[in-house]
Structure 1
Amino acid sequence: MRVAIVHRVQPGEKPNLDELRELCLTAGYEVVYELIQRRYPHPKYNIGPGKLAELKDAVKKLNIEKVIFENDIKTVQEYNLAKALGIPVMSRVQLILEIFSLHASSKEAKLQIKLAELKYELSRAREKVRLAKMGEQPGFHGLGAYEADVYYNEINRRIHTLTKKLASIKKRRDLFRLRREKYGNSYNIARWLY
């Protein structure tokens, strides 16, 4: 997948896209465009409108499929950028979670990564629903919950379920460790033979 990487730095800071470029390669992305801007964060897009126009032009010309920011971007900025560019936008944190997800091998590791993703999503859930439903209001006579609350509660439920599964795996692992200490490796060999 062809991506653009963006780093907005405060005036006086030194930009560095080397690590983000390496993370993109690890995730299987091809970095085809890099953008650096020195300014304070723009409230709507994180980068200024001029750099946004430059990025939009690059997206069209270079067939870029995703934009990855070195900076942590707010939910509203991610939404505005994705809407303006017409492609997905993600932050470095989301990229790192994606890399861990790609390389997780054990069931426990996969559950831990999913839990981290949900906790990250939970912090952004209400704002995402608000932005998606912009302009809509629940009916005056409606008895149901706001969609943001439903989405937020669903994420909380999934977090609770994953936490219980991880606790169960940890308990089983601790039990096997105790048995191994008590009976030695013969317990493991016997367990696998039957």
Structure 2
Amino acid sequence: MLSRFFLLTLSALLFASCGSDLDLVSKERALNGKMTYHTRSGGYSTALPSSSVVEKGHSKPKDKHGMPLYSRERLRHVRTTAYHCAEADHLQYGSMNATGTPLKYSNRVRSAAADWSVYPVGTVFKIKGMSQLFVVDDYGSALTGTGTVDIYTPSAGHMKAWGRRNVEIAIVQWGSYARSAQLLSKRTRHSHCRQMYTAIQRKLGDGAATASR
């Protein structure tokens, strides 16, 4: 009886941390050079990427989405998607990220997922038009081999409000390839983890400087 009560309480806390799913999504609006998506609980407003950053991206190699693949540039034109912790493929992890710590969503810092061989764990960036800092502390199989960044949101309504959008990001601080490799080395039974781990090892083997916090 006690264990059942504990499990019910834990489930309630988990879904509470993910936020409400009842938000309504309105049509995307472009106002004054900003893309704004709204839900009942608010919206996400991001500034349009500058033409110079978009132009520089044209000369870069492209991923499967046709977006630039960068090396060490700090200003980037990036495809973004969104996720939340009550999605079917994230449910087993609950409100925890791939480093084993809670996903972040505050007015100051928010979590993001990416291919760790592109954005090593601990990478901090800003999205043009937003005040928050984003930190890469998660990954996803659909992101592997791409430059896409997946933004953590607290509910399905917020996730739909973000949608899919191309934004300009500025790298504030690079994360650690060494720590990324250490975490992934224990998970290579999963193909996407093995792919990221191999790509990181190749970078380190080629003499790439280990990004540090």
TM-score, with length taken from structure 2 = 0.25
Q: Which has the higher helix share?
A: 1
Greater RCO, CA 8 A, separation 6+: 2
Q: Which has the higher strand share?
A: 2
Q: Which has the larger radius of gyration?
A: 1
TM-score, with length taken from structure 1 = 0.27
